[in-house]
């Protein structure tokens, strides 16, 4: 069982859309997106259950057998958020995207739609994830669906993207794969302006920011297999935005009490010249959102801050009125390119 040592350095993940013409969970290892990882907990969890009868082995009292109840593959991954390389994940987490290549740079718009997201031919298909385990081997996960996506940024930090995933299964670990550097990356950083929240005519300078998509997907276990069928949305979806800011904001608290609703927007812009290929921008939007929680308790002598969660609602049939939208400016030709 002992093996050669290996290390987490140079760990990355490759992603590819599976072929909708093939059965769910048919791996596609022609990775179109490859990203370095901050962390990844994707693993197989094989549930092994002792047999139910009362027989034991002699005087030792140990049970005489077991069976496999389920073979699941779940976990999370955390990536650096960039302007150029994360469109694939936004598309897969939200369900739909479109691109406008007439301006410079190009504008890609991501909106909510059914999941798993459609491919270039308009058909639904899951994702193959190849996890290169640092200096060790690669583990290929088949039939991956993205259940949550959380975009987070705080003062002094870069934005990160964390995703919870459900897969059908994985293959035996095997020979390492190679990382391919993208043409562009461009980190989304905390000091990129304006970095503020606009809601109901007010503007809030933020200390931290979190935009979370929860898709309510669930496994589909059945007789005849220890693996899940393709996960589907089985609960209400949710998109929220949680922010922290310094405050003596009587108006915002009053709007919380009054249950006011309005569109919300947070913009990050790298400061590149407007209309040039250096310009990068990402806009996080919520439709008709209300303040779900407002916490600004006083507990010390320093600055008072408020932690506020906005929840989006759908009041239409397309675009932002479906409840949420993310818009990205970069030079990619499509919304799902690696950059």
6's CB contacts (< 8 A; 6+ apart) are 133, 134, 135, 136
Query: Could you tell me if residue 319 is left (phi over 0), alpha (psi between -120 and 50 degrees) or otherwise beta?
Result: left
Q: Check: CB of residue 305 under 8 Å from CB of residue 78.
A: no
User: Tell me, what's the pLDDT at 338?
Assistant: 93
Question: φ and ψ at 257, to 5 degrees?
Answer: -65, -35
Arithmetic mean of pLDDT over the chain:
93
pLDDT (tens digit per residue) in 30-47: 999 999 999 999 999 999
For position 274, what pLDDT does the model report? 93
pLDDT of residue 120: 72
Q: What is the pLDDT of residue 184?
A: 94
Residue 1 confidence (pLDDT)? 57
Q: Which residue ranges in the chain fall short of pLDDT 50?
A: none
The predicted structure's pLDDT at residue 20: 87
Using DSSP, how many helices (H) and how many strands (E) does the chain show? Answer: 2, 22
| pLDDT of res. 2 | 61
Chain CA centroid to CA 4, Å: 33
3-state helix, strand, coil in the chain (%, to 5): 5, 50, 45
Each residue of 217-260: pLDDT tens digit?
A: 999 999 999 999 999 999 999 999 999 998 877 778 888 889 99
pTM summary value? 0.94
- 14 in Cβ contact with 177 (< 8 Å): yes
In the numeric block, the tokens 């991501």 are attached to 110
Angle at 177 between CA 145 and CA 26, to 5 degrees: 35
Number of Cα atoms under 13 Å in the Cβ half of residue 143:
22
């Amino acid at each position: 069982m002992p093996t050669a040592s290996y290390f987490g350095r140079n760990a990355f993940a490759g992603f590819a859309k599976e072929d909708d013409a093939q059965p769910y969970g048919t791996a596609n290892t022609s990775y179109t997106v490859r990203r370095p990882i901050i962390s990844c907990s994707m693993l197989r969890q094989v549930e092994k259950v002792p047999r139910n009868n009362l027989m034991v082995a002699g005087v030792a009292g140990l049970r005489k057998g077991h069976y496999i109840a389920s073979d699941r593959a779940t976990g999370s991954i955390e990536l650096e958020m960039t302007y150029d390389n994360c469109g694939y994940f936004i598309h897969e987490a939200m369900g739909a995207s479109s691109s406008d290549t007439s301006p410079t740079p190009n504008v890609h718009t991501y909106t909510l739609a059914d999941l798993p997201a459609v491919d270039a031919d308009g058909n639904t298909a899951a994702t193959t994830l190849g996890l290169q385990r640092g200096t060790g081997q690669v583990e290929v996960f088949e039939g991956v669906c993205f259940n949550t996506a959380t975009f987070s940024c705080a003062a002094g930090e870069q934005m990160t993207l964390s995703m919870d995933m459900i897969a059908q299964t994985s293959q035996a670990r095997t020979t390492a794969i190679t990382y391919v550097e993208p043409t562009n990356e461009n980190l989304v950083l905390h000091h990129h302006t304006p970095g503020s929240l606009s809601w109901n005519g007010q503007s809030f300078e933020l200390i931290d920011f979190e935009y979370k998509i929860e898709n309510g997907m669930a496994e589909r276990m059945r007789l005849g297999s220890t693996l899940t069928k393709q996960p589907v949305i089985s609960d209400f979806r949710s998109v929220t935005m949680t922010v922290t800011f310094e405050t003596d904001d009587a108006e915002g608290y009053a709007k919380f009490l009054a249950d006011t609703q309005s569109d919300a927007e947070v913009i990050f812009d790298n400061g590149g010249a407007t209309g040039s290929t250096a310009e990068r921008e990402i806009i996080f939007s919520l439709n008709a959102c209300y303040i779900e929680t407002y916490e600004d308790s006083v507990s010390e002598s320093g600055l008072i801050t408020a932690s506020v969660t906005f929840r989006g609602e759908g009041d239409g049939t397309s675009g932002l009125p479906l409840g949420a939208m993310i818009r990205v400016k970069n030079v990619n030709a499509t919304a799902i390119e690696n950059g």
